[in-house]
A and B are shown apart, each in its own frame.
Chain A
Amino acid sequence: MRNDITRRDALALGLSAATFAATGAAAQTSTIKAADVPTPKREIEKGATLRMLRPVRFVQADEDVFRANAAKFTKETGVEVKVDFVGWEDINQQTAVTSNSGAGPDIIIGFSDAPHIYIDKLVELTDVADYLGKRYGGWLPLAQRYGKKNKSDAWIGLPFGATAGPLIYRKSILQSVGFDKVPEDHAGILDLCQKLHKAGKPAGFALGNAKGDGNGFANWALWSHNASLLDEEGNVIINSKETIAALNWVKQIYPTFIAGTTSWNDVSNNRAYSSQEISLTANGVSLYFSLKNDPATKAIADDSEHQLLPKGLAKVSPMAGLTLNAMLFKHSQYPNAAKAFLQFMLEKDQYEPWLNANSGYWSQPLAAYAEAAVWKGDPKVSIFKDTMNSTYYDGYKGPISTATGAVSADYVLIQMCSAVATGAATPEAAAAEAEQRCKRYFRRQR
């Protein structure tokens, strides 16, 4: 089996010039080590065809390389693979319909906790995961957390990568108010934000119903105060003294933000930062790249730095990653072909070019891919390399379940913070209300 992809192959497969620039060189200078592990024995079903659904690409090269890899699989195995790209907001609904109806795509790449929601409808992928783990230096903690069934070594999802939302700030503006970087402690962050506000270039963190950024801020506020939604056993402990402390801090810091953050959605901070209205926020690498690739805003990118979310009271930066998580449905007529396809896509010859093509937007779930070329280029991107080393996740620090996803999708924690920030509720009242809502979601999860 021929597994390498050369420059000529890439061109033949129709990759764009941009994709090629991002991936071609890297593929030829790979330093990624792959252990010699026996490939799981499975026979691909005769006449197999596959249909796959995955979230729409963020950078064009993501789609180009992904499609090229799928075409390569078809060429080598004869299995036709149809890949559909759908909007991020639509993936959950389409997965729900597929799951409930028992018809539709064989494979869906959903987000983070999706396999835990549809666990009864999924084929175990333990053999694929074990093989890949042994071959590529092991699965990183976040990949294990989202890929494995709770309290078990059975894999129900196969993580493809994760994206994170660390801090991004204007170096020159922070320096102008006496800071080289964002402090790691809450008092220091508050002090910085007050000074930025005074200087007319405030911070801004989403407190509106923003799936990514809003939940990111709310989780960070809680986790950095050692508060969490659940304990290890899955009991709802959101109404705790740690949460009250976090909410009090949110109440203090909110007035230093630019006005309107309680109505921000996922693109609001990008716009505010790009237009130089704010000097500090949290976002994925996309913001940096959009600034860097536009001559009109390149100067802002040059003046920007990334930093892991401050630790506060936590031991490590409390930052979870939004994970791409592949699911194979039991209704698939060709489970062996599907497993072979997923395995193929995560093999070095396919995965590394894809990882590089994403320019840091997705980071690897397997340890060996930390050596990919994408992490050796722009130092401002390398911070994203360890996204899947995080021990934090939606539902931290309890077991992942349908309810952990529901709390995030229903913006329960964001609204708790927002209610306190705007003075609509006291920290105690907001925490109690969030507890009531969370207990409702978790009433059948234990």
Chain B
Amino acid sequence: MSVTTLSSSALAHRQPSWLVRLFDYKPFLIVMCLAPAIGLLTVFLTYPLGLGIWLAFTDTTIGRRGVYVGLENFQYLLTDPLWWNAVFYSVVYTGIATFGKFALGFWLALLLNNHFPFKSLLRAIILLPWIVPTVLSALAFWWIYDPQFSIISYLLVDVLHWRSSNIDFLGSPWPARFSLIAANIWRGIPFVAISLLAGLQTISPSLYEAAMLDGASAWQRFRYITFPMMMPILAIVMTFSIIFTFTDFQLVYAITRGGPGNSTHLLATLAFQRGIAGGELGEGAAIAVSMIPFLVFATLFSYFGLARRKWQQGEDND
């Protein structure tokens, strides 16, 4: 058998093509790999966000190109009682709904974490409120809260005879506000419950076994094992939940459209109302932009307050 070998000088003269060399060039490769992601982010995130922020500094209306007006939109909003009302209700809505969703969602997750018959089926059913399109569930709640045809009123008035008149869920400010919060909690529980259930299932049973051997009570096991171990996922889920709740639109718009007396406007619904229905695109954008500081604050609070608790990282970790 004969072996043909290339001389060392031939090897030295054989250069890879320019294309190969280009792709071997690390900075170029990094740019090429990142380009699609950067392109997508630019087109679908940066541009709309940038345009929104730009519009907030203009007096653009529907059908009329605007001009730069500086902070005029924001200055007006500071004098607008409806904007302040929307800020107030957005905070109340987010606070109460998030608390309700976490309390009930965590409780549900703990229940679902136990072994019981038809476990998988029940877990799937729990997801239903989350799967149903928001507008559909909003329409259902709209009927439930209807002043004349509410099923709740029907039960209380016509079946149980506990009341003499229908409940006016949406006819005055605070009942309407709490009715919407209840609808949001109902809709949000599955997301929290399933997310936290996933977290619960990552906790090693050996921790509980060890605790039980040490004589820890159920509360102590929850307090010193479950809760600390769940903190990272709690922080992430809560961050998402706060963002989703604070920016909620569909439930409120489909059920009350911000009424009665503008008492149930969230910043998102007010932004739509002013920007699209009212045609004041600049002002609507300013309202939308005004949500950003609240969202950043909520995210940072959630992140630093929950995810980076010192005791999670060990006592000596400074």
B199 in contact (CB, < 8 A):
no
Query: Is B148 a contact of A272 with CB atoms below 8 Å?
Result: yes
Q: Cβ of B63 and Cβ of A415 under 8 Å apart?
A: no
Determine the distance from Cα of A274 to Cα of B172 in the docked complex, in whole angstroms: 24
- Tell me the minimal C-beta distance from B86 to chain A in angstroms: 13
Other-chain contact of A418, B146, B148, B259 (Cβ < 8 Å)? B259
Q: Is the interface of A mostly helix, strand, loop or mixed?
A: helix
Residue from B64, B145, B259, B277 having most chain A Cβ neighbours under 10 A: B259
Is B278 interfacial (CB 8 A cutoff)? yes
Binds B, one of A176-184, A260-268, A288-296: A260-268
- Distance (whole angstroms) from the CB of B81 to the closest CB of chain A: 6
Q: A122 to B166, alpha carbons, bound, how many Å?
A: 50
Point out the residues of chain B lying under 8 angstroms from A207, CB to CB.
260
Q: Which residues of A contact B147 (CB under 8 A)?
A: 258-261, 263-264, 268
CB-defined contacts of B274 to chain A, threshold 8 Å: 410
> Which residues A398-437 have CB closer than 8 A to chain B?
402, 405-406, 409-411, 414-415, 418-419, 422, 424-425, 433, 436-437
Interface of B is mostly: loop
Q: How far in angstroms is the closest Cβ of chain B from A267? A: 10
Question: Is there contact, CB below 8 Å, between A415 and B279?
Answer: no
Report A86-103 residues with CB < 8 Å from chain B CB.
Answer: 92-93, 96, 99-100
Contact between A415 and B262 (Cβ–Cβ < 8 Å)?
A: yes
Cα–Cα, bound, A425→B176 (Å): 17
* Chain B residues positioned under 8 Å from A402 (CB to CB): 61-64, 279
A275: interface (CB < 8 Å): yes
Tally inter-chain residue pairs, CB-CB below 8 A. Answer: 121
Contact with B along A262-290 (1 / 0, CB 8 A): 11110010011001010000000000000
**Residue B170 contacts which of A117, A260, A272, A410 (CB distance < 8 angstroms)?**
A260
- B63 CB to nearest chain A CB (Å): 5
Residues of A within 8 A of B277 (CB): 92, 406, 409-410
Size bracket of the B interface = 35 or more
Task: Report which of A260, A419, A437 forms a contact with B148, defined as CB distance below 8 A.
Answer: A260
Assembly CA distance A121 to B62 (angstroms): 12
Give the A interface residue count (CB, 8 A). Answer: 44
Contact B263–A424 (Cβ < 8 Å):
yes
Query: In the complex, A99 Cα to B277 Cα: how many Å?
Result: 16
Rounded to whole Å, the gap between the CB of A413 and the closest CB of chain B is: 12
Contact assessment for A259 and B165 in the assembled complex, using a CB-CB cutoff below 8 Å: yes
Given contacts A262-B171, A272-B148, whether A208 and B61 have CB atoms under 8 Å apart is no
CB neighbours of A406 from chain B (8 A): 277-280
Indicate whether A42 reaches chain B with its CB closer than 8 angstroms: no
Cβ of A387 within 8 Å of any chain B Cβ, yes or no, is no
Residues of A with C-beta under 8 A to B260: 207-208, 262-263, 418, 422, 424
CA distance A392 to B146 in the complex (A): 32
B171 contacts A263, CB within 8 Å?
yes
Known: A260-B171, A271-B149, A406-B278. A419 touches B261 (CB 8 A): yes
Chain B residues 157 to 198 lying within 8 A of chain A, measured CB to CB, are: 165-166, 168-173, 176
Residue in chain A with minimal CB distance to B270: A410
Is B62 touching A96 in the complex (CB atoms < 8 A)?
A: yes
- In the complex, the answer to whether A259 meets B256 with C-beta atoms within 8 Å is no
| Chain A residues near B283 (CB-CB < 8 A) | 440
- By beta carbon, the residue of chain B nearest A403 is B279
Closest to A414 in B: B259
- Nearest B residue to A100 via CB reads B63
Contact of B227 with A by CB under 8 A: no
Distance between Cα atoms of A209 and B142 in the complex (Å): 14
Tell me if B258 is interfacial: C-beta within 8 Å of chain A: yes
Q: How many whole Å from B40's CB to the nearest CB in chain A?
A: 23
Given contacts A207-B260, A259-B165, contact A96 B63 (CB under 8 A): yes
Pick the residue among A120, A265, A424, A433 that contacts B173 (CB under 8 A): A424
B259 touches A263 (CB 8 A): yes
- By the criterion CB–CB under 8 Å, are A259 and B259 in contact? no
In addition to A208-B260, A263-B176, A263-B260, 14 A-B residue pairs with Cβ atoms within 8 Å of each other are A96-B62, A99-B63, A117-B62, A117-B279, A121-B63, A259-B171, A260-B146, A260-B171, A262-B171, A272-B148, A415-B259, A418-B261, A440-B280, A444-B61
Closest 4 CB pairs of A and B: A260-B147, A263-B170, A262-B260, A209-B257
Q: Which residues of A contact B (CB under 8 A)?
A: 92-93, 96, 99-100, 117-118, 120-121, 207-209, 258-265, 268, 271-272, 275, 277, 402, 405-406, 409-411, 414-415, 418-419, 422, 424-425, 433, 436-437, 440-441, 444
24 A-B interface contacts by CB (under 8 A): A93-B276, A99-B62, A208-B256, A209-B256, A209-B259, A258-B148, A260-B146, A260-B148, A260-B171, A263-B260, A265-B257, A277-B148, A402-B61, A402-B279, A411-B259, A418-B259, A422-B260, A424-B173, A424-B260, A433-B82, A436-B80, A437-B80, A437-B82, A444-B61
